[in-house]
Chain A
Amino acid sequence: MELAWYATLGLVFAGYLVLGGYDYGVGLLLSGIRDDGQRRAALTAVGPFFLGNEVWLVASLGILFGAFPRLEGELLSGYYPAVVAALVGVLLVTVGVQLRGRPAEPAARARWDRVVVAGSALAALGWGALFGGLLQGLPLDASGHVAGIGHLATPFVAATAITLVTLVAVQGATFLLLRMPKGQAADRARLVRRLVPVALGAVALATLLGSLSADVRAAVHPGALVPLLLLVFALLAARLLAERRPGWAFVASSLALVAPVLLVGLGRYPAALVSTVDPAATLTVAEAAAAPATLRLLAWVAVPFVPVLIGFQAMSWWVFRGRIDGKAPVYW
């Protein structure tokens, strides 16, 4: 039961990274668009999906709290700065995207767009730092206390933070490639092809720094190599497919965002939180989980309802599929 819930948690959070990833990716790319109308068009491409994307984050937190209450407490408070950065980023994007269309003056809209850019960067940095932190473990003692927050200040964490920024940028670029009018396809594909090498460079740097860090080597077992290879191949595939098959390029860049979750989940299993100071304090998935009665109750609800939830999301993807054109409804 714990394993099933742990997998669900991973799946839902990966769903958030894939979907929220293109929100933030498009958000980052707004910085390169000079013209207000074009920025609005890019956000219109995200348009109907935006609200449905970030609820995957809310759902992951709900599952984390319901099914892994102990992990929730120790994870979020143990990685305070990373989590707060991500949280502030998420907030700024949510607010910025939804409010930027309200003022009538283009100057005010441009200010909100800068908020969106900053928020997207912060959100990606925060989640990336959290991944890095999870992979290197934290100074957790047996009572569940973590001493200080300095443990996050390592080159490896900085590298994973930057890596995630590059991954969401690629994701945003392939999303726009898929959704923007056909006429822009060549430019969009060029952007994807230019961003992928940057992302690969970041991945290489993070891998190098990780293999140099004793903590990371201790926390992660060789199984982590599989998701790492997946990440590299997915990025390469996104680059190769960008020109001809935008749909598949988007699938590939989405896989590149699933890979970090697999890396953290599989690479450290059965540990959920690795302690760097006391091996006995390492929190395993089974220890982190809620009691069986709670997990059963949640499963009774989740099994029938999760298909419904995904069904409604699929309905929204279906209704608003395809490239946007002049008739696309605008609200942001």
Chain B
Amino acid sequence: MDPLPLARLQFATTTSIHFLFVLVTLGLVTLLVYLQTTSFVTRKPVYERMVRFWGTIYLINYVLGIATGIVMEFQFGLNWSGLSRYTGNVFGAPIALETLLAFFLESTLLGMWIFGWHRLRRGVHLALLYGVAITAYLSAFFIMAANAWLQHPVGYEVRDGVAHLTDFTALLTNPTFTMALGHVTSAAVLTGGMVLAGISAWLMLRRSPDYELLRKSLWIGLVTVTIAGVPLMGFGFAQFGAVGEVQPTKFGDDAAKAQAVADFTARFGPGDYLPPAYANASLGFMILIGFTLAWAFVMLPLFYRDWIVRLKFPLVIVGLSLPLPFVAAILGWLTREGGRQPWAAYGLLKVDDAVSPISGGVMLASFLGFTALLLTLAVTNWVLIAKRAARGAADPALGRSLADVTAEDDDERRPEPALAR
């Protein structure tokens, strides 16, 4: 069995699952920074309740961000050893920087944030969240730089058949990097807003308690969707120009495509140099979703006299729109990654040469195993988020102590409370 399609499918599956979670991580952490800063400044209790409620949801979501991220990290070596062998000198650098500068700090700081409630000073506790947010964006920055390099290799030269780094700044000014970074981060913030709005809408329909918190969250969510949609579309359309120039086979016109194919054939021998059709179809659907979400602004006037709640159907619409940004994001990646086929690094290394020399059987087992595991975990995670949300904003998990917990579910089953001594 040919390991290549399996390796590709596995990469596409794990990365897509990873992205569904980190999209929410990035978006929610941004909103949490806003909420906790407001709570810090105004000292209004509703904001602290919001931080604790949405913070719990953020943390549940974060779990799978980490779990799938670790799989991603291993996957390069496991399935794409050719990629590290030929392009590791260049492509490895942003990945290494990401792990050191971003992940390492992010998780350390987040650990302190979770366990620092009521233990650290309010200012320190807030500063930790800022640290978490900054490092989360740093990780998006470096990973997109790495991805952009695969889309359009720059700042390197080939010696002894291996790419060598010559200019790191070129990686950071790569045209496929800047626009994509703007687009991805706007997409994340929009998704964060949609999560706030969507979950709040469902909870209001279920008449969950703490109306004040839910109404505020709905408002903040919808305003976020509205605002983030503007740069999202701006950067999105700007990508056509930036990417089309360096990847003629993706967004070029017919003449540019034919010329690129001729050029590749001359350099690498005959082959199929045109991307698969699904890449283009995905693009269309993503843009459709983008324009649909842009209608979020019509909900804002409905907050006048709470019409949005009294009419009810706007809440249903908001709730039903919750999956849209997630679908759009996957479609966007199918466009970007599918559209650069058959290249692992565009114009430099084909996917056939990048894949590990592993037997198809092992690859199949690994693909089936990891896909089943990650999908199970992902679904479990969403169920836990839904259940957590359905319990409403009372009793958030964040900021409790061992004594609270043991008092809360202590009964005759356990005559001797934990740590009573």
Q: Which residues of A contact B (CB under 8 A)?
A: 35-38, 40-41, 44, 47-52, 54-59, 61-67, 69-70, 72-77, 80, 83-84, 87-88, 90-91, 94-95, 98-99, 101-104, 106, 144-146, 148-149, 181-184, 290-291, 293-294, 297-298, 301-302, 305-306, 308-309, 312-313, 315-316, 319-320, 324-331
Contact = CB atoms under 8 A, between A and B. Distances in A.
A57 B100 CA distance: 11
A101 to B, nearest CB: 7
Contacts of B83: 73
Nearest to B117: A329
Interface in B161-209: 162, 164-166, 168
A58 B96 contact: no
A48 B92 contact: no
A317 to B, nearest CB: 10
B111 A326 contact: no
Contact of A77 (B96, B100, B120, B356): B356
Contacts of B421: 181-184
Q: Is the interface of A mostly helix, strand, loop or mixed?
A: helix
A221 B118 CA distance: 54
A201 B107 CA distance: 37
Contact of B397 (A90, A101, A183, A325): A101
9 contacts: A41-B419, A51-B110, A58-B99, A146-B357, A291-B164, A297-B168, A301-B101, A312-B105, A324-B419
Contacts of A54: 66, 70, 107
B88 A69 contact: yes
Contacts of A103: 384, 387
Interface string B104-144: 11111111101111111000000000000000000000000
Contact of A66 (B97, B391, B404): B97
B101 to A, nearest CB: 6
A94 B103 contact: no
Contacts of A98: 59-60, 62-63
B112 A326 contact: no
A53 to B, nearest CB: 9
A61 B94 CA distance: 13
B311 interface: no
Contacts of B111: 48-52, 316
Interface in B61-102: 62-64, 66-67, 69-71, 73-74, 76-85, 87-93, 95-101
Q: Is the interface of B mostly helix, strand, loop or mixed?
A: helix
B74 A99 contact: no
B166 A293 contact: yes
Q: How large is the interface on B (under 10, 10 to 19, 20 to 34, 35 or more residues)?
A: 35 or more
B335 to A, nearest CB: 26
A91 B88 contact: no
A313 B93 contact: no
A73 B88 contact: yes
Given A70-B85, A77-B357, A302 B166 contact: no
Given A291-B165, A309-B105, A95 B100 contact: no
A259 to B, nearest CB: 24
Interface string B347-368: 0000000001111001000100
Nearest to B385: A102
Contact of B89 (A69, A184, A316): A69
B262 interface: no
A19 to B, nearest CB: 11
A42 B356 CA distance: 41
Given A58-B69, A65-B88, 14 more contacts: A36-B414, A48-B114, A55-B99, A55-B103, A59-B99, A62-B97, A72-B77, A95-B381, A297-B165, A309-B108, A325-B402, A326-B402, A329-B115, A329-B401
Interface string B385-421: 0011001000001111111111001100010011111
Nearest to B76: A65
A72 B88 contact: yes
B75 to A, nearest CB: 9
B85 A61 contact: no
A324 B405 CA distance: 14
B171 to A, nearest CB: 10
Interface of B: 59-60, 62-64, 66-67, 69-71, 73-74, 76-85, 87-93, 95-101, 103-112, 114-120, 162, 164-166, 168, 356-359, 362, 366, 369, 373, 377, 380-381, 384, 387-388, 391, 397-406, 409-410, 414, 417-421
Ranked 6 nearest A-B pairs via Cβ = A69-B88, A66-B96, A62-B99, A73-B81, A76-B77, A37-B418
B13 to A, nearest CB: 15
A217 B97 CA distance: 38
Given A41-B418, A183-B421, A330-B401, A88 B373 contact: yes
Nearest to A313: B108
Contacts of A313: 108
Contact of B403 (A38, A148, A305, A327): A327
A194 to B, nearest CB: 22
Contact of B81 (A38, A76, A298): A76
A90 B100 contact: no
B164 A293 contact: yes
Contact of A58 (B60, B104, B109, B362): B104
A151 B60 CA distance: 40
Nearest to A180: B419
Contact of B103 (A50, A58, A182, A308): A58
B308 to A, nearest CB: 30
B112 A316 contact: yes
Contact of B73 (A52, A61, A104): A61
Contact of A70 (B88, B106, B116, B404): B88
Contacts of A101: 397
B115 A320 contact: yes
Contact of A325 (B69, B84, B419): B419
B93 A297 contact: yes
Contacts of A48: 111-112, 114-116
A184 B402 CA distance: 17
A15 B70 CA distance: 17
A69 B92 contact: yes
Nearest to B410: A37
Contacts of B118: 329
Given A73-B81, A316-B108, A37 B406 contact: yes
A55 B89 CA distance: 23
